[in-house]
Amino acid sequence: MIQTAQISQSSVFLVSGGAKGITAECVIRMAQHQPSKFILLGRSSIMKDEPDWAKDCFDESELKKRIMENIRAQGQKPTPMEVQRVFKTIASSREIHKTLLAIEQAGGQADYIDVDVTDALALQQKLATVVERMGPITGIIHGAGVLADKLIEKKSEQDFETVYATKVKGLENLLSCVSPGQLDYLVLFSSVAGFYGNIGQSDYAIANEILNKSAHLVKQHHPSCHVVAINWGPWDSGMVTSELKKAFAKRNIEIIPIPVGTNMLVKELDSANQDTAQVVIGTPLEPVLGELNPELRTYRIRR
């Protein structure tokens, strides 16, 4: 008889992309449902202490003004690119700290590692120290992902590689650090784009469909592990602008509210769903037919 997995206080989840955005919201909800331990991975650096001039300033325009003043005080000229870079560093660090605090307030434990999941050596080295403190990893949530949406004829090889590697190479590296045999949970954040395909997302669709097939493969070899690839539709997050919402509405694509999506994740991790290796949570994506150049639709064949 196959033993069903259960999340407990001693569970340790390794979460890629887990400190910011939707994955962070999911982790916080998991901690609220059942406090456990989380090792969050992300490429962003985290500031232990903010500079005095940035503290207690949360208005974007005011913070950027202070950034410019600080750059001038150092005898340098504040360029828009440099101001934006510093602003993003501060804002990102604040979001990471907010996630860590929310997990701890829910009764869980959390640590953050700044590392690129596509860098296998750095991942192994940085993870080893944290595992000594947190304990053996019992679950992986692979939520990292990047987009470079454009039609395939306009994509560069670097565009494709960046999108593909974050999902596929990232999963390979996570599983090289933690053997699937020791896992109670393997949760892969895939996309409806992988299941249905989507215009401008050939690289993203391919990468996510590989995650889908990987879930079935791992489940076949490790039946006691709760494996699931969740093919998410678009979430109602900061990345979904009002213009994008209108575009989704035009295609009859529903947006997943954050409370709904995070609760659905918790339900998917229930032992009753242990045998479901892939689930689609989102509206089907129907192909968008573009206008063809009339010259490309006229053919004359001579024999």
Predicted pLDDT of residue 238:
65
Band of the pLDDT at 295, cuts 50, 70, 90? low
Mean pLDDT of 29-37: 98
CA distances from 30 to 6, 10, 109, 236, 281 (A): 13, 14, 12, 19, 18
Instruction: Provide the angle, in degrees to the nearest 10, between the axes of the packed helices 120-134 and 157-177.
Output: 40
Mean pLDDT of the chain: 92
Predicted pLDDT of residue 103:
98
Band of the pLDDT at 297, cuts 50, 70, 90? low
Predicted pLDDT of residue 159:
93
Token digits of residue 219:
């489940």
Q: Is 107 left (phi over 0), alpha (psi -120 to 50) or beta?
A: left
> Which residue has 């700044």 as its token pair?
114
Burial, 161: exposed, middle or buried (Cβ in 10 Å; 0-12, 13-18, 19+)? middle
Say whether pLDDT at 303 is over 70: no
Mean pLDDT of 183-192: 97
- Between 126 and 285, the more confident residue is 126
Contact predicate 288/199, CB 8 Å: yes
Over residues 129-184, the pLDDT tens digits come to: 999 999 999 999 999 999 888 998 999 999 999 999 999 999 999 999 999 999 99
Strand partners, 191: 232
Strand partners, 187: 141, 228
Enclosing H/E stretch for 23 = helix 21-33
Contact predicate 11/276, CB 8 Å: no
d(CA 38, CA 151): 37
Contact predicate 219/183, CB 8 Å: no
Mean pLDDT of 273-290: 86
Predicted pLDDT of residue 250:
87
Say whether pLDDT at 292 is over 60: no
Band of the pLDDT at 226, cuts 50, 70, 90? very high
Instruction: Give the E-state strand segments of 28-75 in sequence order.
Output: 37-42
Burial, 221: exposed, middle or buried (Cβ in 10 Å; 0-12, 13-18, 19+)? exposed
What's the number of CA atoms in the CB half-sphere (13 Å) around residue 202? 11
Q: In degrees, to the nearest 5, what angle opens at C-alpha 41 toward C-alphas 221 and 27?
A: 80
Token digits of residue 196:
């249905």
Tell me the CATH architecture of domain 13-44+113-286: 3-Layer(aba) Sandwich (3.40)
Q: Quick one: what percent of the chain has pLDDT higher than 90?
A: 81
Burial, 197: exposed, middle or buried (Cβ in 10 Å; 0-12, 13-18, 19+)? middle
Look up residue 254 and give its amino acid.
E
**By three-state DSSP, how is residue 170 classified?**
helix
Instruction: Provide the angle, in degrees to the nearest 10, between the axes of the packed helices 202-221 and 157-177.
Output: 20
